Amino acid sequence: MHIAKKIESSKVNRPALRLVKTQDLSRDEWLEVRKRGIGSSDAGTAVGLNPYQSPLELWMIKTGRDGDMPKIDPNDETSPTYWGSLLEPIVAAHYTKRTGNRVRKINAVLQHADEDKSWMLANIDREVVGANDVQILECKTAGEFGARLWRDGVPDYVVCQVQHQLAVTGKGSADVCVLICGQEIRVYRIHRDDELIARLIKLERQFWHYVETDTPPPADGSESADRALRYLYPKDTGNTIDFADDTEMSATFADLVNLRADIANREELESLLKQKIQEKMGDASVAVFETGKVSFRRSKDSHGIDIAKLLLDQPDIPERYPLVKPGNRRFLIST
């Protein structure tokens, strides 16, 4: 029994393989390498815990179906990704200042050493040097919206990312250093959890099976899944598909119709309650209650162009400046 445990432990802690060096890779080449497996930043998405991306959208990327989907521009200064990349060295430097731990970059995509987990890849922000209690540093930045996800500690999708890194590298613990709203540094320690890693690997393997068999994973109701479906099936054929004898799909349709009716009733009730408060407020700007408050203020005047008058004065404008907007598939319900 003790021998078996010792053998299993040594197998778990095998160091990662260096799949490819990243020093001379372009961004496009690096993205192509990532399609060869599930990276650490993909882990939370693959198991359905990433609030920013669905498994379906990730599947489209891994299977090369994302050609027409909007891409993150690494030079877009309004993108959180841009600022995350720009501030990563600053976060790492402040981590060293805060903890005294020295760090260095690993310029390689790492791969799990076990052949049956070769699809597990990892990019490590920094390796911690000379510390016995921690080996990996993950750098994060969070803006006003993202900071909400850090109120109770490290978000689940980041925990998955770090445990994935520990699984690939065989290391024992990692620090997550996050810069909150550009002015607050927090450091969290995450220890290796072999039970969690086992569950993570099982779920990730299920996702990778979808990729290997070219089978789309189920949609999860997120905006990301909605976006992925629209790009996966951008056009309709004009054909009619009959689900009348499909009990599961007929039940799904009935649930959707009932849910929409319930939502309509609740929206009507919401309007009634809101109007009751507005009526009592009169011309007041703010109303305070036992558990919160509401504001009822007039917004600033906006300025625009009166298109109708413009077209009366210059009716040839549509011909001189034509614009064709691609149509979108609309989901309409009839009962």
Q: Are residues 191 and 290 in the same domain?
A: no
pLDDT at 1: 34
pLDDT at 32: 83
Instruction: Give the domain range for residue 10.
Output: 2-230
The predicted model scores a pTM of: 0.80
Q: Are residues 167 and 294 in the same domain?
A: no
pLDDT at 220: 95
pLDDT at 49: 96
- 126 lies in some domain: yes
Domain count, the chain: 2
Q: Are residues 282 and 183 in the same domain?
A: no
Q: Are residues 211 and 257 in the same domain?
A: no
Q: Are residues 172 and 295 in the same domain?
A: no
- 330 lies in some domain: no
Q: Are residues 64 and 211 in the same domain?
A: yes
Q: Are residues 215 and 173 in the same domain?
A: yes
Q: Are residues 66 and 197 in the same domain?
A: yes
Residue 223 CA to residue 52 CA, distance in Å, equals 9
- 266 lies in some domain: yes
- 6 lies in some domain: yes
Residues of the chain with pLDDT under 70: 1-13
Residue 312 CA to residue 131 CA, distance in Å, equals 75
pLDDT at 13: 65
